[in-house]
């Protein structure tokens, strides 16, 4: 099962990215554990400077912008 994390302090872009992840999973019927990381201390562990960050299986895929549903679907298929 895939592990997906959306890192961000809860800003509108972060919330949109999180919603887009859920929509992409719904469209593809892929099962995944989705975690929203809003804790600054936790985010610092990943050494990121820009949010939101989309991570799939502990690998940063998209950072600093909203991940679109079709992009997420493509990343999930890999």
d(CA 17, CA 70): 12
The secondary structure of 58-75 as a DSSP string is TEEEEESSPPPHHHHHHH
Let me know if 11 is a catalytic residue: yes
Per annotation, catalytic residue among 14, 21, 37, 62? 14
Per annotation, catalytic residue among 11, 12, 50, 74? 11
Let me know if 67 is a catalytic residue: no
Active-site positions read 11, 14
């Amino acid at each position: 099962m895939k592990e997906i994390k959306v890192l961000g302090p809860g800003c509108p872009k972060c919330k949109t990215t999180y919603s887009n992840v859920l929509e992409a999973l719904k469209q593809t019927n892929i099962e995944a554990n989705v975690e929203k990381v809003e804790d600054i201390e936790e985010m610092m562990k990943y050494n990121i400077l820009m949010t939101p960050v989309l991570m799939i299986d502990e690998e940063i895929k998209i950072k600093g912008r909203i991940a679109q549903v079709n992009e997420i679907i493509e990343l999930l298929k890999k």
